[in-house]
């Protein structure tokens, strides 16, 4: 499965799509990136005169790349071209270290811990363009093909 096909299978669209590209993917993990554009709607109120990407949005970006894209890849043998996977976030635990500002590109790196009975659990990290650790944590979710 090609990386552009994975992105097309994501159940998100703008303005709630936080994946620009997938840099590497395997059965063990994934890395991908996203640039937070300065015109994103959440910057209007978070915070006045000092826009910073909300932690919940950083978590969503990490989940979309680190859990959902990887889950689609792991389900590749079950998916047909027209099918969309069903995804439900079941738990997450995040620690944040640095802010992400408008027009900043981040890279998400995810390592699969377990994928069993359609439950995927991953260790995720987010780095800024300088390679500094922005956030890290654990994300789990249930993944299923609409074919099953």
CA count, 13 A, side-chain hemisphere, 22: 24
pLDDT value at residue 103: 98
**What pTM did the predictor assign?**
0.94
Is the pLDDT confidence value at 105 over 60? yes
pLDDT confidence band for 81 (50 / 70 / 90): low
pLDDT confidence band for 87 (50 / 70 / 90): confident
pLDDT value at residue 31: 98
Is the pLDDT confidence value at 80 over 80? no
Mean pLDDT of 60-76: 95
Q: Domains in the chain and their CATH numbers?
A: 3-145 (3.10.129.10)
Give the Cα separation of 102 and 147 in Å (integer): 39
Catalytic residue from among 46, 84, 121, 136: 46
The answer to whether 29 touches 111, Cβ cutoff 8 Å, is yes
Give the Cα separation of 138 and 131 in Å (integer): 20
pLDDT value at residue 82: 60
In Å, the largest CA–CA distance within the chain is 49
- Digit-coded pLDDT (tens) for 6-56: 999 999 999 999 999 999 999 999 999 999 999 999 999 899 899 999 999
Is the pLDDT confidence value at 148 over 70? no
Query: Is residue 127 annotated as part of the catalytic site, yes or no?
Result: no
Mean of pLDDT over the chain:
93
Is the pLDDT confidence value at 84 over 80? no
């Amino acid at each position: 499965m090609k990386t552009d096909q994975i992105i097309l299978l994501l159940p998100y669209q703008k303005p709630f799509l936080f994946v620009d590209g997938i840099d590497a993917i395997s059965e063990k993990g994934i890395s991908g990136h996203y640039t937070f554009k300065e015109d994103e709607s959440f910057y209007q109120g978070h915070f006045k005169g000092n826009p910073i990407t909300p932690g919940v949005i950083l978590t969503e970006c990490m989940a979309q790349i680190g859990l959902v894209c990887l889950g689609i890849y792991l389900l590749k043998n079950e998916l047909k071209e027209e099918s969309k996977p069903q995804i439900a976030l079941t738990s997450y635990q995040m620690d944040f270290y640095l802010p992400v500002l408008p027009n900043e590109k981040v890279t998400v790196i995810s390592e699969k811990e377990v994928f069993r009975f359609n439950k995927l659990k991953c260790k995720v990290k987010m780095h800024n363009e300088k390679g500094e650790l922005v956030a890290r944590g654990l994300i789990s979710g249930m993944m299923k093909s609409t074919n099953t």
